[in-house]
Amino acid sequence: AAVACMSFYLLSGFAADYTPVPLLEIHGVDDDTVPYDGGLVGGFIQVPSAEDNLERWREANACAGEGIVSYPSPRSELRSFDASACARGAEVALLSLSGVGHTPYKGSENAVDLDTTAFAWAFVRRFSKARPVSPSAPPLAPPAPPPAVPP
């Protein structure tokens, strides 16, 4: 099992018996509904920044090191702690989308240059609750482009 979140953060603490779970957060850098840099949502809920949220999950999943930065598309940055660096192989990643607001989906009003739904699915499908996560799971890569439609 794994989690892929779009434009929001963990607002509560972790349970005492928490078991690490792989997590991908996808967030637009220009989000003014749930600010990428943290702040107030709805005038009364204080949220952390996307980077602080990544750090909370990194700590909860006992990921070591500084993480890996890659660029799945020209306007995106992926900061990740891969399976080999985290407890139970439960990697943690933040996909930051430049010039994108609160709806980080290709085809939305934002200028998203990556199919974030396919990207999220590529992440979560690598993990299974039925068996332990392998620390040698392949690293997250951008999804393949859709096949060309014949004219």
pLDDT tens per residue, range 31-53: 989 999 999 888 888 899 999 99
pTM (whole model) above 0.75 = yes
pLDDT digits (tens, 9 = 90+) for 93-143: 999 999 898 988 887 766 788 999 999 999 999 998 765 555 555 556 555
What phi, psi does 124 have (nearest 5°)? -65, -30
Tell me, what's the pLDDT at 68?
94
Q: What is the CA radius of gyration of the chain?
A: 16
Q: How far is CA 12 from each of CA 28, 45, 46, 53, 136, rounded to the nearest angstrom?
A: 22, 12, 12, 11, 30
What average pLDDT does range 78-94 have in this prediction? 93
Give the count of beta carbons closer than 10 Å to the beta carbon of residue 107.
9
